[in-house]
Every structure is written in structure tokens, then in C-alpha cells.
Amino acid sequence: NAGVTQTPKFQVLKTGQSMTLQCAQDMNHEYMSWYRQDPGMGLRLIHYSVGAGITDQGEVPNGYNVSRSTTEDFPLRLLSAAPSQTSVYFCASSYSSTNYGYTFGSGTRLTVV
């Protein structure tokens, strides 16, 4: 049981480049979400999904796109990377968004130069 798997672990991008951060879970969780973690700030929600085919925006969605074609996968796309998107990104999944603990991936550290 791998839990939540994120790839890559580290990435350096040039301003204006695009890329996709991968997230996969093998727990049959309906709820999946993407967060970013910046120094001195709590984790902030970027996008989330309550099931395959359903996505919605979180607190800081600008510059990011998501899709959910399967229950297992929830990729995060950076359309045109900016230095302000330098951060650590975490994918999380859960049975639902209510009273269940979230399982987090180990994170992707992204640097945009």
C-alpha cells in the first residue's frame, strides 16, 4: 500500500515554462487536494476534487489547473511558471472532506528562477 505518491520530488523551472506535478493514490479515496506550503504560512489549498470528473478551486488557484479523469490520479499543471510559485507542493487524499484524516504525499519542492 503506497498511499499518496508525488513526482517529482524536486524540480527547477525557468520563468514561463510549464509542467505537471503528478499525484496518485491507491486507497480508493474520493477526495483529493493540492496544497502549497510557504515559509511562515500555513498550508494553502490550491484545488480540490470530490471525485472523478469533479474539481473546484481552493484559496490560491491562479496559475494552476487540475483535472481528475480517474479516482487514482490528480495532476496539478503550472501553465506559465512564475517565481511566486516557488514553494513546496503537497497532494492529499481522504475518504471525504469531513471527519477523516488526510493522507499527504511527501511533497514536491519547486523552484522557479
Partner 1 sequence: KNQVEQSPQSLIILEGKNCTLQCNYTVSPFSNLRWYKQDTGRGPVSLTIMTFSENTKSNGRYTATLDADTKQSSLHITASQLSDSASYICVVSHLTGGGNKLTFGTGTQLKVEL
Residues in contact with partner 1 by CB under 8 A are: 4, 40-45, 50, 56, 90, 92, 96-107
What minimum distance in Å lies between the beta carbon of 35 and partner 1?
8
Q: Which is nearer to partner 1, 11 or 17 (CB)?
A: 11
Shorter beta-carbon distance to partner 1: residue 17 or 60: 60
Q: Which is nearer to partner 1, 74 or 90 (CB)?
A: 90
Shortest Å distance, C-beta 90 to partner 1: 5
First-residue to last-residue Cα distance in the chain: 36
CA angle at residue 96 from 95 to 98, to 5 degrees?
130
**CA separation for the pair 24, 106 (Å, rounded):** 12
H-helix or E-strand spanning residue 95: none
CA distance 6 to 29: 15
CB of 104 to partner 1, least distance (A): 3
